[in-house]
Amino acid sequence: MQENRRRCIAMLGGSFDPVHNGHVALGSYFAKLLVPDELRVIPAGNPWQKQGLTAASEHRVAMTRLAFSGLAVPVTIDEQEIRRSSPTYSIDTLRALRAELGSEVSIAFLLGADQLQQLHTWKEWQSLFDHAHLCASSRPGFSLDAARLPPEVAREFKRRDASAEQIRNSAHGLTCLVTDLAIDISATEIRASFERGELPEALVPTGVLDYIKQHHLYGN
C-alpha cells in the first residue's frame, strides 16, 4: 500500500495593489516545482512597511481572484490579514496558518527578490523558519552572492538550501532560491502608468486590467 503523501501548501502574500504578472508567474513557477495541494494567496491588510494602499481591500481581493483563476493548482484567496485590525506581520500569518493546518503539513512561503532583500528587517524573521520553508525567486542576474542581499539572510538560505522533494517531504525550515524566473515588475510603476493614462497591458493579467478600468482604479 502506498504511503500517504505529506500535504503541501504554498503561500503567497502581498499587497497586490495591483496584482500583476510577476505575482502570477511566481505562484505558477512554484506550483509546477513543488506541486502543492493548494496555493494560498493572502492579500495584505495593513502592511507595516507600506505607506498605505491605493485600492480598497475588496478590490485587491477581487483582482487577486481574477489573476490566479487560471492556475493548474487549487487556489484559495485567504483574507485573514485583511480581517486583522492590527499591522500585518508575516510571522503572525504563518503562526495562524500553522495552527490551522497542523504540525505535519509542508508550508512553503513564496517570496520575490524584493522581499528577500528586505527579509532581515521583518519582525522575527528568523522565526519564519520555525513555521515554513522559504522559497524565493531572484531578479534577473541576481544570486545569493550579490552584495545587495543581507549577509545574515544569505547565510540562512545557503545552510538551509534544499530540493523541491525535500521541501515537500518536511514541514518547515528549508529554503529554495530559483534563478531562472526572469520577471521584474513593480506595482509602483504600474500605478504610475495608470496615472499617466497608459495601460500596462503587458504587465497585468487581462481580467485584472478590465477590472481596473471598470472600477476606475489608480486614476484610470
**Annotated domain spans of the chain:** 8-214
Helix (H, G, I), strand (E, B) or coil at 88: strand
The pLDDT confidence band at residue 220, using thresholds 50, 70 and 90, is: low
Lowest mean pLDDT among 98-112, 142-156, 163-177, 203-217: 142-156
pLDDT tens column, 175-211: 999 887 767 788 888 988 888 888 888 899 999 999 9
CA distance 137 to 135: 7
Neighbouring residues of 73: CB distance < 8 A, sequence distance ≥ 6? 10, 31, 35, 36, 37, 38, 39
How far is residue 117's CA from residue 101's CA, in Å, rounded to a whole number?
Answer: 28
Place of cell 510571522: 91
Q: What is the pLDDT of residues 130-142, one digit of tens each?
A: 999 999 987 666 6
Distance of CA 8 to the CA centre of its chain: 15
Helix (H) or strand (E) holding 214: helix 206-214
68-83 residue pLDDT tens = 998 989 999 999 999 9
CA distance 170 to 154: 21
CATH code for residues 8-214: 3.40.50.620
Residue 143 pLDDT: 61
Nearest residue to 215 via CA among 68, 19, 56:
56
Quick one: what percent of the chain has pLDDT higher than 70? 90
pLDDT, position 178: 87
| pLDDT at res. 43 | 95
Pick from 48, 84, 62: nearest CA to 18: 62
- Distance CA(179)–CA(177), nearest Å, equals 7
